[in-house]
Amino acid sequence: MTSSPRLHSQNWNAAGYATNAHFVPALGQPVLDLLEPQAGERILDLGCGDGVLTEKLIALGAEVVAIDNSSDMIAAARRRGLDASIMDARALTFESEFDAVFSNAVLHWIKNDPDAPVTGAFRALRTGGRFVGEMGGHACVGAITVALVATLERRGIRDAASWIPWYFPTVDDYEIRLRRAGFVPHSVQLIPRPTPLPTGMRGWLETFANPFCAALPQSERSGFLDEVTAILKPVLCDAEGRWTADYTRLRALRPSKPDFLRFVSRGELYPTRRDHHHITRGWFKLR
Ligand code: BEZ
């Protein structure tokens, strides 16, 4: 039985995503509204997917640089005529050049080193620039995750929880990460968002649960997804056969890159180009 390595690698398929998960960018509209993009602003779309929201930012007059780590998604974004590039969110290469960084439904996939995209976003912003992001929050798809893990265990996979590919932080956890990167936090919220699934649980699992399927031989995967669907039916499917997933969202609104204040959270001083000071804790005024 396949049991390692646990790469948490999600195989993105743009066509499957458009069929089973078109609600993801559609439900990202409120985050885009909160970004309040202004004509002429330079914005980084961190994890653009197939570019549905990138197009909207451009339509509002922003100059957008779009990146994603999936070649299939980037190909789909380019088919829309977008200037989109493959880049790992953990290794952003931008430096003080954006008015805003925008991210929808991406950062929960970065379980391995969730600080890296926050630090990269901070570095990418000009002084005073803002970050507006939404991702799955604490306990997001909790019932679905329990069903996936328990069903893997039933099929003989030891330490099945280690196949969970998602990082769903609490408000406290994410505020600490934002501060540690240098942001002045404005608001971080956890919002329950029950989410209707247009192609039911089976469609959702086919699009999002392939990191769990990787624990099993190919021949078992379809039966595994059927079993998970059957377990979830009494909880997430109504009498009319409509499925609703137990999503929560974590929204980080407008934490901004300060020009002279840094929050030092761990008795360490995180270096910027302008500071070079002794170790302290709390709010710290730079020269
Ligand atoms: C999302 O795209 O928002 C998502 C994907 C997988 C699990 C939970 C949320």
**Least confident piece of the model among 68-72, 196-200, 281-285:** 281-285
Write out pLDDT tens, residues 67-110: 999 999 999 999 999 999 999 999 999 999 999 999 999 999 99
Residue nearest to atom 3 of ligand 1 (CA): 105
Residue nearest to atom 5 of ligand 1 (CA): 208
Query: What is the CB < 6 Å shell around ligand 1?
Result: 24, 105, 136, 140-141, 166, 208
Distance from the CA of 204 to the center of ligand 1, in angstroms?
9
Residue 14 lies in a domain: no
Residue 149 lies in a domain: no
Residue 55 lies in a domain: yes
Nearest by Cα to 166 from 114, 205, 123: 114
Atom of ligand 1 nearest to the CA of 168: 8
Distance from the CA of 208 to the center of ligand 1, in angstroms?
7
Distance between CA atoms of 43 and 63, rounded to whole angstroms? Answer: 6
pTM: 0.86
Distance from the CA of 16 to the center of ligand 1, in angstroms?
14
Number of domains in the chain: 1
Confidence label for 23 from pLDDT (cuts 50, 70 and 90): confident
How far is residue 36 CA from its own chain's centroid? 20
Residue 15 lies in a domain: no
Residue 230 lies in a domain: no
Q: 């919002």: which residue's tokens?
A: 191
Q: How many residues does the chain have?
A: 287
DSSP 3-state of 42: strand
Q: 């070079």: which residue's tokens?
A: 276
Write out pLDDT tens, residues 115-128: 999 999 999 999 99
Residue 106 lies in a domain: yes
How far is residue 139 CA from its own chain's centroid? 14
Nearest by Cα to 260 from 247, 241, 240, 277: 277
Residue nearest to atom 9 of ligand 1 (CA): 136
**DSSP conformation letters of 169-230:** --HHHHHHHHHHHT-B--EEEEEEEEEE-TTHHHHHHHHH-HHHHTTS-HHHHHHHHHHHHH
Host domain of residue 275: 23-141+164-197+244-286
DSSP collapsed to 3 states, 233-261: HHHHECCCCCEEEEEEEEEEECCECCCCE
Residue 223 lies in a domain: no
Write out pLDDT tens, residues 184-196: 878 899 999 999 9
CATH number of the domain residue 49 falls in: 3.40.50.150
DSSP 3-state of 118: helix
Tokens of 41: 């602003």
Task: Indicate the DSSP class of residue 135.
Answer: E
Ramachandran sector of residue 47 (left: φ over 0; alpha: ψ -120 to 50; beta: rest) = left
Distance between CA atoms of 209 and 81, rounded to whole angstroms? Answer: 30
Residue 260 lies in a domain: yes
Atom of ligand 1 nearest to the CA of 105: 3
Atom of ligand 1 nearest to the CA of 140: 8
Residue 263 confidence (pLDDT) above 60: no
Residue 266 confidence (pLDDT) above 50: no
